[in-house]
Amino acid sequence: MCDAKARPDMQPVYPKAGSYPDFADLVDDSRAQVDRRVFIDRAIYEAELRQIFGRAWLFLAHESQIPNPGDFVRTYMGEDDVIVVRQRNGRIGAYLNSCPHRGNRVCMVDSGKKARGFICNYHGWSFGIDGRLNGTDGKVYDKDPGFQKSEIGLTPVAQVASYQGLVFGTFDPEAPSLEEYFGPFTWYLDVMLDNDEGGTEFIGGCVKSTVECNWKFPAENFVGDILHAFWTHQSGAEAILGGAVDLGSRYDERAFQASVYGHGIETNLDKVGNTRTLGFPELNDYVLGRYEAVKARLGEVRARMVGAVSSCTVFPNFSFLPGQATFRVWHPKGPDRIDLYTWTLVNRNMPERIKELYRKGTMITFSPGGVFEMDDGENWEYCTKANQGWVTRHQKLHYGLGQDSGWAESSLPGHIHRGSLNDANQRQFYRRWAEFMRFDSWGDLQRAETAPPAKPMTRAAE
Amino acid sequence: MTDTTLIRLCDAADLAEGEVLKIEIDGRKPLAATLVDGVVHVFDDTCPHAEESLSKGWVEDGRVVCPVHFAEFDLADGSVHNAPAGCGKLRAYAAELRDGAVFASLG
């Protein structure tokens, strides 16, 4: 090393995707089956980090968390530790939380206000909130003739963009724009993000916990599994509601699942079903009371979704429940563990009392000690652990519910299936997973089967 | 201060409120000057901690902040706050605006 001729090349490296057709084939479209190895296998997990978390748009933060220059939060993209920080020009930057010298973390805390920069504990390398190296120890490096300070910095996340206050990032410089990544799924995201002119905010901080499960179990649960509620959450629902899980009136006519590029939402249109599970009658009245205003803004279908029995996943690992207002990321930590980050999202213009009821409601239901979170977590842990059995892992899993429920004539955006008690969105989720495994280019990814069918957006959908 | 002779450092117009200007004079270590609420402050440009240039830093609440390890120096007397280990006081100089120029007593 002491005779090395070239200077260190410190340009950011954004790993290229590959192609894993053998892994893609583990999702059997024709039979609606998924191979259990996708939940337990280390090689498949490493391929996910490369193919999915290395290039998909991943949720980073809500703009309301970092309103001023220097405000920051720390999060993960896949297993990569990332700092998300508001710049002096108002834009949002995101950088790997790892010093280019020896790799140490440069930011130790979860979040903060008005940071001046980030100093590595190890040798004092100091980075601005724009990620650039401002200086080192100040006495040794600056006298070293070969040291190129200006070429060194924290590796920036390749692209950062916001949609309706939610900030996302991708490590792939060639990824399409965030809006293109969502496609017409934004129509559904707006149910929560744009039902009031004042926009939204996160309240009450970030609640973090660990679940010993594969990240795809919670992601597929939120993308389209309301079915489990009737069994998993029945006793919890009875405790809070004094009655059984109820999907609401005119279910057969109104409930559906919608999917675009593997993002999915399942919903009935009962206006207030999930909000009821928070246990505050005042909150139900509030949601019902806003119905006409939301209808005027978003149309009837979406106005009915705001508080409804409904759940959503943005591929790959960002999920929310409209009615309960819990938003969350399932951060992968190996094939058999996740770190779960959750927030409560409300409209900025809601009365403080209503915001507080949402915050308390999410704590009662979907915090680590929440009734429904505990119900779910245990199931996902045993799904993961049981699949590890040598013989067990060779048995295929059944994703066949509602194979004949396609609703091609629906004018709603995306792939639509009738009814919410359906594996349709989960099949779409794994189809998208397989597309990410198979294709190494965004051109192929965005033209693949999960791409939205061409439909004119008509007022009928409203 | 043994020598109270005022030395002309630059035009007053070279200074901007809250920004730190580096001033090089032959034969001595660089100086820095800034303007806070119309009052001029002159001090050593080199941070006493790790030899970084304070002109790359900024002024906040009456203190100049080193951009590298974030030591804060009181503009009135050079006293150090939020000091990294081993960081001493900054030398500050008596200074004034006169006839459209910045003068300081460098001692």
Confirm whether pTM is higher than 0.95: no
Q: Is residue A462 part of a domain?
A: no
B68: which chain A residues are within 8 Å (Cβ-Cβ)? 126, 134-136, 138
Q: Into how many domains does chain A fold?
A: 2
Nearest-neighbour CA in chain A from B43: distance (Å): 19
CATH assignment of the domain containing A213: 3.90.380.10
Q: Is A114 left (phi over 0), alpha (psi -120 to 50) or beta?
A: left
Q: Is residue A433 part of a domain?
A: yes
pLDDT tens per residue, range B70-83: 999 999 999 999 99
A176 shares contact with chain B (CB less than 8 Å): no
Domain, as residue range, for A67: 57-161
Q: Provide the CATH number for the domain formed by B4-103 in this structure.
A: 2.102.10.10
B71: which chain A residues are within 8 Å (Cβ-Cβ)? none
Nearest chain B residue (CA) to A139: B50
Give the model's pLDDT for residue A139.
Answer: 78
A123 shares contact with chain B (CB less than 8 Å): no
Q: How far apart are CA A345 and CA B84, in angstroms?
A: 39
Strand locations in A262-332, DSSP E? 263-267, 310-314, 318-321, 326-332
A70 shares contact with chain B (CB less than 8 Å): no
Nearest-neighbour CA in chain B from A157: distance (Å): 23
Is 90 exceeded by the pLDDT of residue B105? yes
Q: Which two tokens stand for residue A395?
A: 């048995």
Q: Is residue A174 part of a domain?
A: no
Q: 10 Å Cβ neighbour count for B85? A: 6
Locus of tokens 């200077």: A7
Q: In chain B, which among 45-84 make CB contacts under 8 A with chain A?
A: 47, 49-52, 56, 65, 67-70, 84
User: Does A396 share its domain with A438?
Assistant: yes
User: Does A276 share its domain with A142?
Assistant: no
Q: Is residue A363 part of a domain?
A: yes
Q: Is residue A265 classed as helix, strand or coil in its secondary structure?
A: strand
Give the model's pLDDT for residue A460.
Answer: 46
A135 shares contact with chain B (CB less than 8 Å): yes
Is B69–A116 a contact, with Cβ atoms under 8 angstroms apart?
no
Residue type, A233: H
User: Does A131 share its domain with A199?
Assistant: no
Distances from the Cα of A448 to the Cα of A248, A291, A432, A443, A454, angstroms: 35, 37, 8, 9, 13
Give the model's pLDDT for residue B107.
Answer: 76
Q: Which of A126, A128, A142 sits opposite B69 (nearest CB)?
A: A126
Give the model's pLDDT for residue A241.
Answer: 78
User: Does A260 share its domain with A145?
Assistant: no
User: Does A273 share its domain with A326?
Assistant: yes
CATH assignment of the domain containing A79: 2.102.10.10
Total count of residues recorded for chain B: 107
Residue type, B69: H
A169 shares contact with chain B (CB less than 8 Å): no
Known active-site residue A190: no
Q: Is residue A135 part of a domain?
A: yes
User: Does A139 share its domain with A189?
Assistant: no
Is B69–A138 a contact, with Cβ atoms under 8 angstroms apart?
yes
pLDDT tens per residue, range B13-64: 999 998 999 999 988 999 999 999 999 999 999 999 988 999 999 999 999 9
Q: Is residue A29 part of a domain?
A: no
Known active-site residue A225: yes
Q: Is residue A321 part of a domain?
A: yes
Selection from A321, A322, A340, A328 nearest residue A380 by Cα: A340
Give the model's pLDDT for residue A2.
Answer: 62
Domain boundaries, chain B: 4-103
Is 70 exceeded by the pLDDT of residue B1? no
Is A128–B67 a contact, with Cβ atoms under 8 angstroms apart?
yes
Q: Is residue A418 part of a domain?
A: yes
User: Does A292 share its domain with A399?
Assistant: yes
Residue type, A355: K
A153 shares contact with chain B (CB less than 8 Å): no
Is B51–A126 a contact, with Cβ atoms under 8 angstroms apart?
no
Is A137–B50 a contact, with Cβ atoms under 8 angstroms apart?
yes
Total count of residues recorded for chain A: 462
Q: How many CB pairs under 8 A join A and B?
A: 35
Known active-site residue A228: yes
Known active-site residue A233: yes
Query: What is the DSSP secondary structure assignment for residue A167, as one 8-state letter?
Result: E
User: Does A79 share its domain with A112?
Assistant: yes
Q: What is the pLDDT along chain A (462 residues), one digit of tens a residue?
A: 566 778 999 999 999 999 999 999 999 999 999 999 999 999 999 999 999 999 999 999 999 999 999 999 999 999 999 999 999 999 999 999 999 999 999 999 999 999 999 999 999 999 999 999 999 877 788 888 888 889 999 999 999 999 999 999 999 999 999 999 999 999 999 999 999 999 999 999 999 999 999 999 999 999 999 999 999 999 888 888 777 788 877 888 899 999 999 999 999 998 888 999 999 999 999 999 999 999 999 999 999 999 999 999 999 999 999 999 999 999 999 999 999 999 999 999 999 999 999 999 999 999 998 999 999 999 999 999 999 999 999 999 999 999 999 999 999 999 999 999 999 999 999 999 999 999 999 999 999 999 999 987 644 455
